[in-house]
Chain A
Amino acid sequence: MRLLRRRASVLPGFGLALGFTVSYLGLLVLIPLATIFVKSAALGWGDLWKTVTTPRVLASYRLSLSASLLAAVVSVVFGSIVAWVLARYTFPGKRVVDALIDLPFALPTAVAGIALTTLYAPTGWIGRVLAPLGIKVAFAPLGVVVALTFIGLPFVVRTVQPVLEDLEPEVEEAAASLGASRWDVLRRILFPAIRPALTTGFTLAFARAVGEYGSVVFISGNLPMRTEIAPLLIMTKLEQFDYAGAAAIAAVLLLISFVLLLAINLQASARRRAAPATHPA
């Protein structure tokens, strides 16, 4: 194929490797995903619109998006403090703490779900403390935020931490020797340097949170209109064999995911253009 013309290379296996890659991805991921759009398109625009704008569906989108947003913000705030502490300070047990950051990636979401629910239930270790204060976490929207913060934290830490570690101390020293206060350095040098990483971490955490299921379904209580997230509503529709309805809700969720994926990639390529010498982590 002329379209796939490549730079002359002595290495063999290009056709085989690329052919396998594209067919595998196509057959297992892309074509199956296309069924969501085909199935929801079969509803026709009128019914599709009606399905995704019923009050219950809208409430689930609102909860999924707002809880994900809040959780991503909390993850950015605490994630950057954690990244800073890990990159700049030494303290006993630092290596264990550093390894533990990835726990939300490694711990199955169902385990996280039942553990967080047990902690924050009114009888749980944390819920018992919060209940007299009138703060309800488990089986309330706040519980969704807690679960999504758990899921989102490592995305922020792992994008910000390497950037902080790679910063040249000379720049800060130069600023200091020219009379800048620590606050000036933070505001004028450190923050601009980590801002792209913060944005990427935020987007990654948010994107993951919007689709998250396992850690949320236990703690949320799943009340329609109140604590029902969009992925759970898809699950409910599937269990009722309303495939077209499930596909319609999923199509909107997929569009949100693709926009976020595009945003992440655009940020990455903008950074590559800005700093062509740095290697991807």
Chain B
Amino acid sequence: MSRATTEPPFVRWLLIATALGFLGLFLVLPLAVVLSGALSKGLAAYAAALHDPDTLAAIRLTLLTAAIAVPLNVLFGVAAAWSIAKFSFPGKQTLIALIDVPFTVSPVIAGMVFVLLFGAQGWFGPWLTEHGIRIIFAVPGIVLATVFVTVPFVARELIPLMQEQGTEEEAAAVVLGASGWQTFWRITLPNIKWGLLYGVIVCNARAMGEFGAVAVVSGHIRGVTNTLPLHVEILYNEYHLAAAFAVASLLSLLGIATLIGKKAVEWREERRRESTAQVEAAA
């Protein structure tokens, strides 16, 4: 290597040290402080915080919310990617841009729109009250707000992937007499399964971890409309710090599991690309 294509060793080490120092400060220390806070009153207090009925109720609600929001957005992502990647129609770029809208909207606004629609003083408020239906300060509102903020995740993974794959395989199947569903289940789904899994992992992380949007519609009713992130907030604001960090450690675990899952799918994809490149080079 000549001097102009790489840096002198001390510059290299300086850059690595700067990068690692910054990441340590901003990423590792926050994780460490969660762990240390969670265990600050010992393992028994940690276990007790997690066994608290309110915590258990929050875990159940968080799981329920994700169990509704993630499949809905998988359905949306597949439908959006099918229409965008397999067909051409006017307004496609606009549609792709609109799918990203929930990413750029503040989570507080995402929750607020449902208060304006379904809250006691919202447009449908009087009608809902008359029929005894509660959406805001109840579970349906939490689900709606969570769906809103997680709409783009699966679609964003699938659209470029399916565009790259083109339509030849599906067209061949259809020409040979396969029905639409057969083509989807036997050709498209096997081709996109890893991208789909990746989308599900990131969608689920956000669905379980969403805070701002859910905070607006929840009303913070303990044991009823408290998700795990909201439960962390309540415990923290009431100065039950060890308990707050204990619940936060559960969510951190979810975050770390998400990172591992993501990387596992990415590395698998890298290996697949490398091996197809080798096969092509050999041929």
| Chain A residues engaging chain B, CB cutoff 8 angstroms | 3-7, 9-14, 16-18, 20-22, 24-25, 28-30, 32-33, 35-36, 39, 78, 81-82, 84-86, 89, 91, 95, 97-116, 118-119, 124-126, 149-150, 153, 169, 172-173, 175-177, 180-182, 184-185, 207-208, 210-214, 218, 230-232, 234-235, 238, 241, 243, 246-247, 250, 253-254, 257-258, 260-261, 265, 269, 279-281
Contacts and interface: CB of A to CB of B under 8 A. Distances in A.
B209 A108 contact: yes
A6 B87 contact: yes
B148 interface: yes
Contacts of A230: 106
B174 interface: yes
B129 interface: no
A115 B117 contact: no
Interface string B9-28: 00010011011101101111
Interface stretch (B46-54, B90-98, B189-197): B90-98
B243 to A, nearest CB: 12
6 contacts: A11-B167, A29-B148, A30-B101, A97-B19, A105-B205, A185-B5
B116 A17 contact: no
A146 to B, nearest CB: 8
Contacts of A78: 18-19, 22
Contacts of B23: 82, 97, 100-101
A279 B114 CA distance: 38
Which residue among A32, A84, A180, A269 has the maximum number of chain B CB atoms within 10 Å of its CB? A32
Interface string B166-204: 010011001100011001100000000000000000100
Interface string B231-271: 01100100001001100100110111011101100000000
B255 A108 contact: yes
B60 to A, nearest CB: 17
B150 to A, nearest CB: 10
A interface, over-half SS = helix
A205 B221 CA distance: 33
Given A21-B83, A89-B16, A106-B255, A4 B236 contact: no
Interface of B: 2-7, 12, 15-16, 18-20, 22-23, 25-31, 33-34, 37, 75-76, 79-80, 82-84, 86-90, 93, 95, 97-109, 112-117, 119, 121-123, 144, 147-148, 151, 160, 163-164, 167, 170-171, 174-175, 179-180, 183-184, 202, 205, 208-212, 215-216, 228-230, 232-233, 236, 241, 244-245, 248, 251-252, 254-256, 258-260, 262-263
Contacts of A172: 4-5
5 closest pairs, A vs B, by CB? A211-B106, A108-B209, A176-B4, A213-B212, A214-B211
B86 to A, nearest CB: 5
B147 A235 contact: no
Contact of B106 (A18, A106, A253): A253
Given A33-B113, A107-B251, A111-B232, 10 more contacts: A7-B88, A25-B98, A30-B101, A35-B117, A81-B15, A81-B18, A99-B263, A106-B256, A111-B252, A115-B33
